[in-house]
Structure 1
Amino acid sequence: MTNSLFDLSGKVALVTGTSRGLGQYLARALASAGADIAMTSRDKQSLSAFADEIHAAGRQTFSVDLDVRDENSIRSAVASIEGHFGHIDILVNNAGCNIRKPALDVTWEDWNTVLDTNLRGSFFVAQAVASGMIRRGYGRIINIGSVTSVAGYAGLGPYGASRGGTRQLTMSLADDWGKHGVTVNCLAPGWFRTRQNEVMYKNEAWVEYLTDRIPVKRPGRPDDLDGAIVFLASESSRYVTGQTLLVDGGISTGATKATL
């Protein structure tokens, strides 16, 4: 095996939702492997510091406004990126949101906000990017899912529905586009500390409970995703498509402490 299997030099990666959190870590990992980065936010001014960081690491960047709940915004952003770089080789569908509520308290608007962002947005961004990939006969699409793609948790009804849908969408698009040289996979993190769930990690009892349920006995660190994202974006995964790669410390095994 050679390093060329994981080399992204000359590739352009579009990572949505890069103003904070895991989006920045994923983009940073791809840049470290050699990719130039197209980054998005609903306010591209919020990306300036991160763009400077990627530039300092020797990679090219391009920042665009993108609201994944707006079809015109999606098409305009993709067209701008293709106009700037000439092509998009890798898409990381990372932009997402969550609203945590007991199921009886979820409103119609809560549901629409989460599903429109996480599921509908991912589909239409993938659709917009895939047309160029198909013309060139090459592409890597990575939809960001979650351990909730395969497991249910109380208080996460809309979010779990969106992430379960992301897994199913991934398989459908893989079947659609595989013959064109485009692979589509789902990267599904487990419990990682982000700005979205920061409040939960302030509860020491909850963190202890969570850690006990994870076979490797700790929540995820953002750099735990580096190898997985580069693998799915690179030549090393050329025969992998339609799959969900769980990076969750084993929590999806359903294992609990044994009582003998």
Structure 2
Amino acid sequence: MADPHQPDFGLAGKTVLITGASRGIGRAIAEGCWRSGADLLLGVRDKASVADIVAGAQAAGRRALALRMDVGTLAEIRNAVAEGHKAMGRIDVLVNNVGIGTEAPPEDVTEEDFDQTVNVNLKGTFFVSQTVGRLMIAQGGGRIVNISSQAGTVALHKESIYCMTKAAINHLTRCLAFEWARHKINVNSVGPTFIWTDGTRPYLSEAKYHDATLNHIPLGRIGDPIDVVGAVIFLASPAAGLITGANLLIDGGWSLG
């Protein structure tokens, strides 16, 4: 029985669906969620890429299933969510993690880059939310956590389209929170700064790039995936029950300048 005097930060008994769980922040979130007691649904393009996460979760007594899901294709979203829901019986938490970005000055952005970034980052986030949201409405509630970025709040060099989509995700978060509060669905987002991942390591390992980045972060360090994991688990947990429509910046103070 929950202690009314102690916040509950656990996810025991919850089923969490995470998109883009094969690497980087998504992989770290998946690991953190099962270690916090959750069962896992992992939406990925290659199911073999998360075989070790599935095995680790199952060895700890959790249920875990990889789902083939390209968030740029509505049919795949719907098929994957239906498969996951049938296997688990419910989806309590959705983490919209998938995101891409192409670096280019705005005068050089191609239509292909524009369409692909919007399709994955914004359209994908919306339709995964819609598909899972319908199930959450039917079951009487749930949590959605969108992985946004500090780029949704501040401008970044050569990242105009990426920044645009993340700003849109921040407002989509507020809109869905407003629409679905009556269904007891909490919708929030988190906005990380630069995080050490396989994708960012080649850039951040260059001294000039690293130092220039660090100059924007008052707390004086690049983020680690666990910094994002903690925020996501908090927003997915009972402890955040009265929080909805918020964007929690994990930026070390970047946006303060």
TM-score category of the 2 structures, normalised to the smaller one? over 0.9
1:251 is matched with 254
Which residue among 25, 29, 41 is the counterpart of 1:26?
29
Shift of 1:96: 1.2
1:73 is matched with 76
2:52 is matched with 49
**SS, match of residue 64 in structure 1:** strand
1:184 has 2:183 as partner: no
1:7 has 2:10 as partner: yes
Shift of 1:133: 0.6
* Farther off after superposition, 192-201 or 69-78: 192-201
Which aligned pairs between 1:144-223 and structure 2 lie closer than 5 A? Answer: 144-223=147-226
1:258 is matched with none
Q: How far apart, in 2, do the equivalents of 1:135 and 1:227 lie? A: 28
1:127 is matched with 130
Amino acid at match of 1:145: S
1:108 has 2:111 as partner: yes
Q: How far apart, in 2, do the equivalents of 1:99 and 1:182 lie? A: 32
Q: How far apart, in 2, do the equivalents of 1:111 and 1:142 lie? A: 24
**SS, match of residue 67 in structure 2:** strand
1:83 is matched with 86
Shift of 1:181: 0.4
Shift of 1:194: 2.2
* Farther off after superposition, 45-54 or 142-151: 45-54
**SS, match of residue 126 in structure 1:** helix
Which residue among 129, 135, 142 is the counterpart of 1:139?
142
Shift of 1:81: 0.3
Deviations along 1:41-84, one digit per CA (max 9) or x if unpaired, are: 11212221222222233322011100000000000000000000
Q: Verify the 8 A CA contact 1:98 1:196 in the aligned structure 2.
A: no
In structure 2, list runs of 5 or more residues that go unmatched: none
Q: How far apart, in 1, do the equivalents of 2:199 and 2:122 lie? A: 18
Amino acid at match of 2:47: K
In structure 1, list runs of 5 or more residues that go unmatched: 255-260
Amino acid at match of 2:6: T
Shift of 1:196: 2.8
Q: Verify the 8 A CA contact 2:31 2:53 in the aligned structure 1.
A: no
Q: How far apart, in 2, do the equivalents of 1:246 and 1:178 lie? A: 22
Amino acid at match of 1:236: A
**SS, match of residue 187 in structure 1:** strand
| Aligned length in residues | 253
Name the % identity: 37
Deviations along 1:126-183, one digit per CA (max 9) or x if unpaired, are: 0000111111111000011000010011100111011000001000000000000001
**SS, match of residue 218 in structure 2:** coil
Shift of 1:202: 2.7
**SS, match of residue 190 in structure 2:** strand
Please give the root-mean-square deviation of Cα atoms over the aligned residues, in Å: 1.2
